[in-house]
C-alpha cells in the first residue's frame, strides 16, 4: 500500500483571510456567495491524491475503498457513512477520506491497520450525521457555504458525546462510535497532517474520558460512579419480543429438532466419512429407531425434502440427498434462543454462562413443588479468595431447564470438556475446538438471534442481568411484569419474585439498578429540599430531618441543597435508602425493611404455594406499577413530580364539574376515585408549588 505522499499543501496557509470571509458570508446570510476557495482547495487535494493507491484494489479518488485483496472482507463506503452521494456532501466525504488516508499511512501518530480504520469509520455514523446536522462540511448546494470544523466549539460536541455515553451499548462499542473524533483531533494538532481548514480547533472531549459524558442532572459531582453506571437494561419494547421469540421457538420446536438431530447427525453423519445424508441411508436409520419419515418430519420449522443428485459423468445413476441448509439454520437458531432464555432468567455474566457444564440444571424435589429446578453456577468474584470461582446453586424455572436440555442434546458432536455451550459452526469431524466458548462468540450469538427475529436492537449478554433485575423499575408498568411472568411461566408475580430474591446474581444486579435509579433522582430531591418543596410521608420525614440532624445545622440556600444531595447519595450508595420514580410520586424506601407495602398488597395472589413464607413477601421492594401515591408512608413528592399530578388534577376536576361528556363520567366508581384524588392531592400540590 502506497501512502507516502506528503499531504501538506497550500491549504495550510489558507487559514486567515479565507476563514474570515466565510464567517462574513455566514453572518450576512449570503450562503450563495460563500467562499469558493475551500471548494477549490478540496478539488486540488482530490486532483493531487486521486491516483494514489489506498489498497491493492482502490485509489483515493474512489468513494469506496476495497481491502479484500489484503485478505480482509472490508469495504469502506464513505458515501454510505455520510448518508448521501450528493455534491453537497463532498467536503464531508473528503475530510473522512483524508483522515482515513492519514491513518493508513505514515502520517498517523500510530499507523492503523485496515481492519482498525474500517472499524473507526463504520462505527462513526452517529458522529458523522451530527456533523451534517450542524452544517459542518455540508453545503446547501454545490459550491455553497459550509461550516468549517474549527467553527465548532468544544461544548457543541457535548450533545453527541452525551447521547452515545448514555446509550445502552457496551463501553467498547461506545468508544468505537466516537473514536473518529479522537483520531481527528490527534491529526489536527500534528504538523502537516491535515489541511488547516479541515482541522478541529479544540479537543471534542476536553481532556475527559467518554464515561464522563452523561446525560444526567447538571451536578457533575453527583454523576454515577463507574462501578454502578455500566450496562443498561434492554429497553422493554425490545426485551419482550426477544424473550417471547426465544421461548416460543424452544417450546414449539425443541422436541422435533432434538429428534431430527439425533437421527440425522448422531445416527448418520457421525458415522459417515462425509456429511451427505442419502434417502436410502435415512430410511434404514428410521427403521432401526422405530420411526417413520412422517414422524421425523412432523413439527419441524423447515421443509423436509430431498434433492436429486447425479454425477455429470453418470447422469443415469442418481441418489436423493437430504437438503440440510434450512435445518442447519434452525438448529443454530434454537441454540441461540436457548442461550437467550438462560441469560434472561439467571442474570449470569458471560464468563459464568460460558463455564456451565453438562448436567448443571436438575429438578429439585426437596421443595415439594412441581417444576422447581436448580442450576449450578461457578461465580468468579473479583476478590482473591474467589479467583478460581465459587460454586453456587440458584433456583430457576422450567423454561431454563428446557433451554439447558436443548443445549445438552444439540451439542453432542461439537462438545469439548463437557462445557454446555458449544460452537454453532465448527467441523464436527475434527478436534480443533477445545475448552469453553469464547466471549465474542457468545456476543455474536445473542446479537444474531435479535437480528434473525427482526428486532431492531442488538443486545449484549451483560444487559440481560440488568433487564431482569430491573423489571420493577422499568418505565412500562405493563410490559415489565408481563416479561418476567412470561420468562418464568408463572401466573403469580409473588412466585417469580421468590426466584429473583433467592438468586444472588439477580440480587447483586438489582442493587446496582437501585443505586443507578436513586442517584438519578437525588438531585431533584436536594433542590426541592433546598426550597422547602417536599410533601408526602417521606417528604415530611426529610424536612424534619433537616431541622433536627446536626449535619444540616445552620446550612441554607445552595449549600443546603448540595449537602442534602450528598447525604441522600451516600444513603443510596450504602443501600440504606433508595428512590424510585413511580407514576404518582417518588418511592423512598429501605430495601432491608421487610414491612409489607400497600403496593405489594395490590398484587393478586394466584397459586401461592408452600415456598413463600408470606403470600406478599417481596423482600422490601415496592411494585412500582401499583403505587398508591400519597396513601403510602413511603411517598415523596417534590416540585418536579407535581407537574404530572397537576395534569391529573385538572382532568379529575373537569370530570367532577361535568365538563367531560364521556360514558365513564357516569361511572360511580370512577367519580368516587376522582373526588378522592382531588381531596388528597390538593393540599399536597399547594405545598410544593
pLDDT over threshold 70, residue 33: no
Distance separating alpha carbons of residues 58 and 278, to the nearest angstrom = 46
Nearest of 200, 138, 197 to residue 10 by alpha carbon: 197
Over residues 216-235, the mean pLDDT reads 51
The answer to whether the beta carbons of residues 584 and 635 sit under 8 Å apart is yes
CB 634 within 8 A of CB 588: yes
Ranges of beta strands (E only) in 278-355 are 306-310, 318-322
When pLDDT is cut at 50, 70 and 90, the band that residue 107 belongs to is low
The SS3 of residue 461 is coil
Q: How confident is the model over 191-206, as pLDDT tens digits?
A: 667 888 899 988 888 7
Of 93, 120, 81, 76, which is closest to residue 39 (Cα–Cα)? 93
Where are the domains positioned within the chain? 10-215, 253-327, 335-495, 506-688
335-495 folds as hpI Integrase; Chain A (1.10.443)
Q: What is the mean pLDDT of residues 644-665?
A: 79
Q: Are 120 and 180 in contact (CB under 8 A)?
A: yes
Q: Which residues contact 139 (CB under 8 A, 6 or more apart)?
A: 31, 34, 88, 91, 145, 146
- Distance of alpha carbon 670 from alpha carbon 689, whole angstroms: 27
Residue 271 half-sphere exposure, CB side, CA atoms within 13 Å? 9
Residue with cell 441454540: 335
The owner of cell 433487564 is: 467
pLDDT-derived band at 290 (thresholds 50, 70, 90) equals very high
Q: Which of 355, 410, 397 is nearest to 379 (CA)?
A: 355
Residue with cell 448514555: 166
Which whole number is the average pLDDT over 103-121?
Answer: 72
How far is Cα 31 from Cα 26, in angstroms, rounded to an integer? 6
| pLDDT of res. 251 | 95
Residue 522 grid coordinates? 437525588
- Condensed to tens digits (0 to 9), the pLDDT of residues 441-499 reads 888 899 999 999 999 888 989 889 888 887 766 655 566 777 887 888 877 677 777 78
Which residue from 583, 599, 586 is spatially nearest to 647, judged by alpha carbons?
A: 583
Cell of 657: 364539574
pLDDT for position 72: 66
- Exposed, middle or buried by CB within 10 Å (0-12, 13-18, 19+), for 378? middle
Threshold 0.85, pTM exceeds: no
Amino acid at each position: 500500500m502506497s501512502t507516502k505522499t506528503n499531504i501538506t499543501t497550500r491549504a495550510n496557509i489558507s487559514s486567515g483571510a479565507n476563514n474570515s470571509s466565510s464567517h462574513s458570508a455566514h453572518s450576512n446570510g449570503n450562503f450563495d456567495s460563500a467562499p469558493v476557495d475551500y471548494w477549490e482547495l478540496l478539488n486540488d487535494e482530490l486532483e493531487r491524491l486521486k491516483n494514489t493507491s489506498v489498497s491493492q484494489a482502490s485509489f483515493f479518488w474512489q468513494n469506496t475503498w476495497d481491502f479484500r485483496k489484503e485478505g480482509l472482507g472490508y469495504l469502506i463506503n464513505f458515501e454510505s457513512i455520510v448518508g448521501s452521494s450528493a455534491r453537497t456532501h463532498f467536503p464531508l466525504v473528503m475530510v473522512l477520506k483524508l483522515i482515513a488516508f492519514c491513518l493508513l499511512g505514515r502520517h498517523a501518530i500510530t499507523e492503523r491497520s485496515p481492519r482498525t480504520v474500517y472499524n473507526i469509520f463504520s462505527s462513526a455514523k452517529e458522529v458523522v450525521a451530527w456533523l451534517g446536522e450542524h452544517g459542518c462540511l455540508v453545503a446547501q448546494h454545490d459550491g455553497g457555504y459550509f461550516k468549517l470544523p474549527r467553527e465548532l466549539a468544544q461544548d457543541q460536541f457535548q450533545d453527541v458525546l452525551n447521547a452515545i455515553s448514555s446509550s445502552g451499548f457496551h463501553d467498547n462499542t461506545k468508544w468505537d462510535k466516537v473514536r473518529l473524533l479522537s483520531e481527528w483531533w490527534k491529526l489536527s494538532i500534528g504538523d502537516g497532517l491535515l489541511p488547516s481548514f479541515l482541522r478541529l480547533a479544540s479537543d471534542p472531549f476536553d481532556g475527559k474520558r467518554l464515561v464522563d459524558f452523561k446525560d444526567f442532572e447538571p451536578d457533575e459531582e453527583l454523576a454515577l460512579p463507574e462501578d454502578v453506571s455500566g450496562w443498561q437494561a434492554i429497553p422493554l419494547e425490545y426485551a419482550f419480543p426477544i424473550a417471547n421469540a426465544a421461548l416460543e421457538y424452544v417450546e414449539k420446536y425443541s422436541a422435533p429438532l432434538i429428534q431430527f438431530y439425533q437421527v440425522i447427525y448422531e445416527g448418520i453423519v457421525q458415522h459417515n466419512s462425509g456429511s451427505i445424508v442419502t434417502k436410502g441411508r435415512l430410511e434404514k436409520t428410521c427403521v432401526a429407531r422405530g420411526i417413520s419419515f412422517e414422524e421425523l418430519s412432523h413439527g419441524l420449522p423447515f421443509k423436509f425434502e430431498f434433492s436429486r443428485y447425479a454425477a455429470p459423468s453418470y447422469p443415469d445413476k442418481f441418489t436423493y440427498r437430504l437438503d440440510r441448509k434450512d435445518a442447519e439454520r434452525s438448529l443454530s437458531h434454537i441454540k441461540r434462543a436457548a442461550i437467550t432464555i438462560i441469560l434472561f432468567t439467571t442474570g449470569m455474566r458471560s464468563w459464568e454462562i460460558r463455564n456451565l457444564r453438562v448436567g448443571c440444571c436438575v429438578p429439585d424435589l426437596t421443595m415439594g413443588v412441581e417444576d422447581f429446578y436448580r442450576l449450578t453456577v461457578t461465580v468468579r468474584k473479583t476478590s482473591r479468595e474467589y479467583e478460581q470461582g465459587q460454586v453456587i446453586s440458584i433456583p430457576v424455572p422450567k423454561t431454563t431447564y428446557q433451554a439447558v436440555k436443548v443445549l445438552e442434546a444439540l451439542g453432542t458432536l461439537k462438545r469439548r470438556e463437557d462445557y454446555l455451550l458449544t460452537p454453532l459452526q465448527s467441523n464436527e469431524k475434527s478436534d480443533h475446538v477445545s475448552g469453553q466458548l469464547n466471549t465474542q462468540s457468545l456476543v455474536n450469538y445473542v446479537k444474531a438471534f435479535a437480528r434473525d427475529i427482526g428486532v431492531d436492537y442488538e443486545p449484549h449478554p451483560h444487559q440481560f442481568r440488568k433487564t431482569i433485575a430491573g423489571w420493577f423499575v422499568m418505565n412500562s408498568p405493563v410490559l415489565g411484569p408481563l416479561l418476567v411472568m412470561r420468562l418464568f411461566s408463572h401466573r403469580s408475580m409473588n412466585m417469580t419474585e421468590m426466584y429473583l430474591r433467592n438468586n444472588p446474581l439477580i440480587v447483586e444486579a438489582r442493587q446496582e439498578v437501585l443505586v443507578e435509579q436513586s442517584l438519578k433522582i437525588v438531585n431533584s430531591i436536594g433542590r426541592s429540599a433546598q426550597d422547602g418543596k417536599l410533601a408526602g410521608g417521606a417528604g415530611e420525614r426529610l424536612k424534619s430531618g433537616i431541622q433536627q440532624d446536626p449535619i444540616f445545622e445552620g446550612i441554607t440556600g445552595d449549600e443546603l441543597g448540595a449537602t442534602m444531595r450528598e447525604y441522600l447519595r451516600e444513603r443510596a450508595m450504602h443501600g440504606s435508602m433508595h428512590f424510585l420514580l413511580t407514576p404518582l410520586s417518588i418511592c423512598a424506601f429501605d430495601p432491608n425493611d421487610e414491612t409489607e407495602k400497600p403496593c405489594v398488597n395490590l398484587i393478586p395472589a394466584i397459586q401461592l404455594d408452600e415456598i413463600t413464607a408470606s403470600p406478599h413477601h417481596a423482600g422490601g421492594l415496592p411494585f412500582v406499577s401499583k403505587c398508591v401515591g400519597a396513601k403510602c408512608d413511603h411517598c415523596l413528592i417534590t416540585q418536579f413530580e407535581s407537574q404530572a399530578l397537576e395534569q391529573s388534577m385538572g382532568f379529575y376536576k373537569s370530570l367532577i364539574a361535568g365538563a367531560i361528556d364521556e360514558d365513564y363520567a357516569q361511572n360511580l366508581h370512577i367519580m368516587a376515585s376522582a373526588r378522592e384524588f382531588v381531596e388528597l392531592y390538593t393540599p399536597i400540590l399547594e405545598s410544593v408549588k
